[in-house]
Amino acid sequence: MVTWKKAVKLAVVALFTIALLVFLQNLLMPKYMTEILEGALISEYYLEEFKEHDVIFIGDCEVYENFSPIVLWKEYGITSFIRGSAQQLIWQSYYLLEETLKYEKPKVVVFNVLSMKYDRPQKESYNRMALDGMPLSVPKLKSIKASMLDDEKFITYLFPILRYHSRWSELSAEDFKYLFKKRKVTHNGYLMRVDVKPVTTIPKEKKLANYQFSDICYGYLDKMTELCKENGIELVLIKAPTIYPHWYDEWDKQMEDYARKNDLLYINFLKYTDEIGIDFQTDTYDAGLHLNLSGAEKLSGYFGKILQEKFNLPDRRNNKKLNMIWAAKEDLYVSEMEKQYAELEEFGYLKAFNSRRNED
Amino acid sequence: MKNRKVIVIITVLALVAVGAVVAAFSLDSNKGNIDNANAGDNGGGSKNSTGGNRQNGGVTQEKEGYYFEYKGIKIGINDEAAPILEALGEPMHYFEAPSCAFEGMDKIYSYSGFEFTTYTKDNKDYISSIVFLDDTVTTREGITLNATLDDIIKAYGSEYEKSYNQFSYSDGNCVLSFILENDGVVSVEYSLPTGNNMGG
């Protein structure tokens, strides 16, 4: 009897210890709610109640800054979600896609090909933004393994408290406010910015010793192509219309050849900026690296037509349930837009995107 | 009474265990917080220590290793940018390229014949690369765009590293690279030792 009681007490203490560690981990992990919002993107997908999207975007900032799912819905009745993260590497995109397919089977997957230029992990902070937001799964474990830099430890991705323990001295109000529940910072993965910084100059492109994309990147692109074919999904390769970093003709040709060989659609939107109506004096917030809301809406309107015509995506606007869901999303979108314009009017800049800059 | 003692002992042990975990990893102070771990390190900027001419204030003082000289102004990798910019005057063009999620900021200053890029560390900008734009500028050893491999070897010797059509010389602090096409130099670049050869 006494032994049984001891066991219960031990179990209670063990549970208490685990709960304490989980609490500390949640407290210490960055929340990405008021600055560096890009860190919050990946986890937002899991909050979606309705995970039946016609189109899933995967890739780096060139997807989450340049395409608006709200416009795709409003203009074409296409449901979509962007699974993007800052400098998402191609193996991270692949494993994210593999994981996404456990939740849903979209008709089209859109992959931005800029990451073909990176054949090795770049920075831990980008790895964290791509990986920490994923729940534990086999694709996540594979992605961690493929992404780690030499001085990173696998266990710190499984137990992030081992990485973030030293944040205790920098905890802010944000860490307590969003300890148990975070707010959404994107609109189906689209990170909105309404500010404008026109293009005034474009740096001359550097010559490269080697323009050939690496075997590693082609390997993951092959896996992505295969995965989509196995699941009856149309894979579309795109290059977003941003003018820096430079997209070389040699790279473009490789993607054209790959698409032709694998019977895929590849669109380099840089070739269609006039047709899309992008004006780099008004449609970018950082002098050509990314589009702002105005540019993203133009690009989405243009791309939506291609998606609908090429892949016969149905117009779902007559679906009552979807209409309700997307009406709520539209409200949030408009409210965010108005908030940003008001902030711009009051401060001359957007606080969430400039606080970090001012420190440096 | 005995049970209470057991509970107290177990609770103390649990708290010690939690404390030990936190303390053990607190000792690993080499890694900062994720937000700060890479700030300003946009291209390996903090990975410098071997250069004898690093971050000096005088732009005309004697230097060692590979560096570029323009109108008597010495510009080296990892040198602080402010005094160089002051000596050079207003650039013809200036371009800011913040990294995604603001993990650093490249600043590109273009002058007649060359441009250089800076990275930021501890609120100061340092030179991360210098690139020739035309053949009006030369390296201190006399190599300019359109030079040949023979010219390069005469100037720098045959102790180069070859990667595709790129020939590189390193002094530990700086890598001086020449890219050749059709037997002529099409690119001259001074850069940090850990540059990304895919560019962009």
Residue-wise pLDDT for B84-131, tens only, equals 999 999 999 999 888 877 777 889 999 999 999 999 888 899 999 999
Query: Quick check: is A128 in a domain?
Result: no
Give the position of tokens 């030079």.
Answer: B147
Q: What is the DSSP letter of B92?
A: S
User: Interhelix angle for A124-131 vs A90-100, to 10°?
Assistant: 10
pLDDT at B50: 33
Q: How many helices (H) and strands (E) does chain B have?
A: 4, 10
Judge whether B158 and B168 are in contact, CB under 8 Å: no
Domain hosting A246: range is: 37-120+187-201+209-359
Q: Is B27 on the interface with A (CB under 8 A)?
A: no
pLDDT band for position B29 (cuts 50, 70, 90): very low
pLDDT in tens, A18-52: 999 999 998 999 999 988 899 999 999 999 988 99
Give the CA dihedral A122, A87, B46, A40, nearest 10 degrees: -120
Q: Does B95 contact A203 at a Cβ distance shorter than 8 Å?
A: yes
List the domain boundaries for chain B: 2-30, 68-191
Dihedral-angle region of residue B78 (phi above 0 means left; psi in -120 to 50 means alpha; beta otherwise): left
Q: Which of A161, A160, A127, A163 is nearest to A144 (CA)?
A: A127
Cα–Cα distance for residue pair A344/A332, rounded to 1 Å: 18
Number of Cβ atoms within 10 Å of the Cβ of B131: 21
Is residue A28 in some structural domain? no
Assigned CATH for B68-191: 3.40.33.10
What band does A77 get if pLDDT is binned at 50, 70 and 90?
Answer: very high
B49 pLDDT band, cuts 50/70/90, is very low
Identify which has the larger pLDDT, B142 or B59: B142
pLDDT of residue A34: 84
Give the CATH number for residue A274.
3.40.50.1110
* Facing A36 at nearest CB: one of B7, B35, B133: B35
Residue of A nearest to B111 (CA): A203
Q: What is the pLDDT of residues A184-235, one digit of tens each?
A: 999 999 999 999 999 999 988 999 999 999 999 999 999 999 999 999 999 9
Q: Cα-flanking dihedrals φ and ψ of residue A40, to 5°? A: -95, -5
| Mean of all residue pLDDT scores within chain A | 94
pTM score, whole prediction: 0.86
Residue numbers in A near B105 (CB within 8 A) = 357, 360
Within-domain flag for A169? no
* Alpha-carbon span A92 to A95, nearest angstrom: 5
Burial class (CB in 10 A: 0-12, 13-18, 19+), A11: exposed
Is the minimum CB–CB distance between B18 and chain A shorter than 8 Å?
yes
**Contact call for A5 and B11, based on CB within 8 A:** no
B63 compared with B68, residue with greater pLDDT: B68
Which residue of A125, A155, A213 to mutate against B (max B Cβ within 10 Å)?
Answer: A125
Instruction: Identify the pLDDT of residue A352.
Output: 79
Residue A247 falls inside a structural domain = yes
> Which comes out higher in pLDDT, residue A289 or B198?
A289
Look at residue A271 and tell me if it is in a domain. yes
A175, part of any domain: no
Q: Assess if residue A343 is contained within a domain.
A: yes
pLDDT above 50: residue B165: yes
Q: What is the mean pLDDT of residues A231-247?
A: 96
Does residue A137 register a pLDDT over 90? yes
Q: Residue B62 — very low, low, confident or very high, per pLDDT cuts 50/70/90? A: confident
Out of A137-141, A290-294, B191-195, which region has the weakest mean confidence (pLDDT)?
B191-195
AA identity, residue A178: Y
Backbone angles phi, psi at A284, to 5 degrees: -135, 145
The per-residue pLDDT for B196 is: 42
- The rounded distance, in Å, linking the Cα atoms of B172 and B138 is 21
Amino acid identity, position B11 = T
A6 interaction partners in chain B (CB closer than 8 Å): 6
Q: Which residues of B touch A355 (CB under 8 A)?
A: none
Q: Does A306 touch chain B (CB under 8 A)?
A: no
| Cα atoms in the Cβ-side hemisphere of radius 13 Å centred on B146 | 5
Domain count within chain A: 1
Does the pLDDT at position A144 exceed 60?
Answer: yes
**ipTM value:** 0.81
Distance from B83 to chain A by nearest Cα, in Å?
19
A 1-20 → B contacts, CB under 8 A:
5-6, 9-10, 13-14, 16-17, 20
CB-CB under 8 Å, B131 with A206: yes
Tokens read off for A104:
């849903």
pLDDT reported for residue B24: 45
Average confidence score pLDDT of chain B: 78
The better pLDDT of the pair A35, B200 is held by A35
Residue range A335-342: mean pLDDT, rounded: 96
- In this prediction, residue A147 carries a pLDDT of 96
For residue A288, is it within any domain? yes
